[in-house]
Chain A
Amino acid sequence: MQLIFEKSRPGRRALTLDPLDVPKAELPAGFCRETPPALPEVGEFDVVRHFTHLSRRNFGLDSHFYPLGSCTMKYNPKVSELVAADPGFAALHPHLSSAPAYWGACQGALELVHDLEGILAEVGGMKAGCLQPMAGAHGELAGTLLIAAYHRDRGNTHKRVVLVPDSAHGTNPASAAMAGFDVVQIPSAPDGLADLDRFREAMNDNVAAVMLTCPNTHGLFEPQVAEIAKIAHAVDALMYYDGANLNAIVGKCRPGDLGFDVMHFNLHKTFATPHGMGGPGAGAIAVGDRLLPYLPGPRVEKTADGFVLSQPPKSIGRMAPFFGNFLIAVRAYAFLLRYGGDGLAAVAESAVLNANYVLARLRGAYHPAFDGYCMHECVFSAAAQAEKGARALDIAKALLERGCHAPTVYFPLTVKECLMIEPTETESKETMDAFCDDMLDIARIAETAPETLKDAPRGLPVTRLDEVKAAKDLNCASLA
Chain B
Amino acid sequence: MSWIPVTEQDRREMLAEIGAASVEELFSVIPGELRMRGWNLSPGMAEAALRRHVAGLAGRNAVSPVSFLGGGYYDHFIPAAVDALASRSEFFTAYTPYQPEAAQGTLQAIYEYQSAVCRLTDMECANASLYDGGTAVFEAAVMACRATGRGVVRVHDSVNPVWRGILRTQTANLDVEVADGADPEGAACVIVQNPAFRGDLADFTDLAAACHSAGALLVMAFDPVSLGLLKSPGAMGADIAVAEGQGLGLPLGFGGPYLGVLAARKALIRKMPGRIAAATVDTEGKRGFVLTLQAREQHIRREKANSNICSNQALCALRALIYLCLAGPEGLREVAEACHAKAEYLKARLAARFPVANPGPTFNEFVVRLPIPAERAAALLLERGFLAGLPLAAVGAGGQEELLVAVTETRTRSEMDAFAAALEDACHATDL
Contact = CB atoms under 8 A, between A and B. Distances in A.
B94 A337 contact: no
Contacts of A469: 280-281
B18 A360 contact: yes
A218 B299 CA distance: 16
A480 B290 CA distance: 21
6 contacts: A15-B328, A20-B341, A93-B69, A276-B314, A278-B312, A474-B292
Contacts of A90: 251-253
B153 to A, nearest CB: 15
Contacts of B338: 17, 20
B61 A92 contact: yes
B342 A477 contact: no
B90 A361 contact: no
Contacts of B18: 353, 356-357, 359-360, 373
A365 to B, nearest CB: 14
Contacts of A33: 227, 229-232, 235
A22 B342 contact: yes
Interface residues of A, number: 207
Contacts of B340: 25, 27
B286 to A, nearest CB: 6
Please name the 4 residue pairs, one residue from A and one from B, whose CB atoms are nearest each other, closest first. A88-B58, A322-B255, A341-B41, A340-B44
Given A337-B42, A429-B10, 6 more contacts: A134-B131, A171-B299, A226-B31, A338-B46, A462-B101, A470-B292
Interface string B308-319: 111111111010
Contact of B111 (A58, A170, A473, A477): A477
Contact of A476 (B63, B98, B111, B163): B111
Interface stretch (B19-27, B182-190, B208-216, B351-359): B19-27
Interface in B96-114: 96-106, 108-109, 111-112, 114
Interface in A226-257: 226, 249, 251-254, 257
Given A20-B338, A111-B60, A278-B106, A337 B79 contact: no
B199 to A, nearest CB: 13
Contacts, number: 697
Nearest to A277: B314
Given A92-B252, A320-B134, A466-B280, A51 B3 contact: no
Interface stretch (A100-108, A196-204, A384-392, A440-448): A100-108
Contact of A400 (B62, B101, B279, B302): B101
A54 interface: yes
A280 B315 contact: yes
Contacts of A123: 39, 41
Given A37-B228, A174-B301, A326 B256 contact: yes
A463 B280 CA distance: 12
B54 A474 contact: no
A340 B103 contact: no
A37 B227 contact: yes
A349 interface: yes
B168 A317 contact: yes
A32 interface: yes
Contacts of B87: 81
Contacts of A346: 1, 4
Contacts of B89: 60-63, 76
Interface in A314-340: 316-328, 330, 333-334, 337-340
Contacts of B300: 170
Contacts of B135: 134, 138, 320
B331 A319 contact: no
